[in-house]
Amino acid sequence: DRLKERLRTAESPPSVSPKQPARGVKAVSPPTIPEPLRSYLGGDLAELKWKSLGRGAYHIPIKLADRSTTARLLRIPAGKPVPEHSHGGRELTLVLSGSFNDGELLFARGDIEEADTSVEHQPLATPGQDCICLAVTDAPLRFRSWFMRLLQPVLRI
């Protein structure tokens, strides 16, 4: 009862319109990469050093203590597909920004796609915004294209 009374009589902070920040306050958009991953990587998207995968796609490999698992950030250009592939094990993909279609399914910010050895697919980033994902695998991907299989050891995917 005392807590309820204190909450009822406590001064509420001045309200600020979400469209116009208070004078002297800089409007800040929320980060794309959630904590603790953002601190582990050393910043949000603008501060990261992406490595090219070719055809406009980029990645950032994430070092893990567990050598049987790989993790990476992926940036797939809007409207572009990833190469067709299946899986040697399990893959979990968390969408951080943008979205992608996988067959009839749409995965958007906060969604997780799970794929295993039974899945052969070619996810497609939706038009309008690059798709940024965190992908974690416990075995190498199995690319359908001989060219991608040739590049796989160099790209370490």
The pLDDT of residue 139: 82
- Kindly report the pTM of this predicted structure: 0.75
Contacts of 85 (CB under 8 A, 6+ apart): 120, 121, 122, 141, 142, 143, 144, 148
Mind listing the pLDDT tens digit of every residue in the chain (157 residues)?
Answer: 676 666 666 555 555 455 555 566 666 677 888 888 888 888 888 888 999 887 788 999 998 888 889 899 999 999 999 888 888 899 999 999 999 999 889 999 999 999 998 988 889 999 999 999 999 998 877 767 766 667 665 666 6
DSSP at 28: -
Contact criterion met (CB below 8 Å) for 74 and 107 = no
- Cβ-based neighbour number of residue 112 at 10 Å: 12
The pLDDT of residue 131: 97
Alpha carbon separation from 38 to 29, 75, 135 (Å, rounded): 15, 15, 15
List the domains of the chain with CATH numbers: 32-152 (2.60.120.10)
Calpha distance 59→155 (Å, rounded): 10
Calpha distance 91→139 (Å, rounded): 8
